Amino acid sequence: MEEINPWKTLESEVKYDNNWIRITEHQVINPSGGEGIYGEVHFKNFAIGILPLDEEYNTWLVGQYRFPLKAYSWEIPEGGGPLNGEPIDSARRELLEETGMRAKHW
């Protein structure tokens, strides 16, 4: 069964594009007939987060200054990986980059 799209796109324009994201603004007519804008964010990588545990089940966090927050933040090791890659490979790389650790078990 073919799905019917209740939205009508009048115009689309890429507003921002870099190595990580692309933001497109769509001028639309919504299902109830009103005109408006719809923003779409396309992520060019997938997100990776690792919760490392040691032998006593303690977890490890990394601290770093986050520009958007304008503050220091404690977080699990995290990063991104290519959409066409294996997530486990990206997770191993991020854990090593951010903590210097290698996991025995995944």
pLDDT at residue 67, rounded to an integer:
96
Measure Cα distances from 5 to 8, 9, 29, 35, 39 in Å. 8, 10, 11, 16, 17
Residues 51 and 93 in one domain: yes
Residues 62 and 36 in one domain: no
**Per-run averaged pLDDT (10 residues), the chain, 106 residues:** 91 97 98 97 95 94 96 96 95 96 94
Residues 38 and 50 in one domain: no
Instruction: Answer yes or no: is 104 within a domain.
Output: no
pLDDT at residue 1, rounded to an integer:
77
Give the DSSP H/E element, type plus range, for residue 93.
helix 87-99
Measure Cα distances from 73 to 23, 91, 94 in Å. 26, 20, 17
d(CA 68, CA 51): 23
* Number of domains comprising the chain: 2
Contacts of 47 (CB under 8 A, 6+ apart): 78, 79, 80
Sheet of 8-17, strand order = 8-17, 21-29, 35-43
pLDDT at residue 13, rounded to an integer:
99
Residues 50 and 94 in one domain: yes
- State the amino acid at position 98 in one-letter form: E
Residues 57 and 93 in one domain: yes
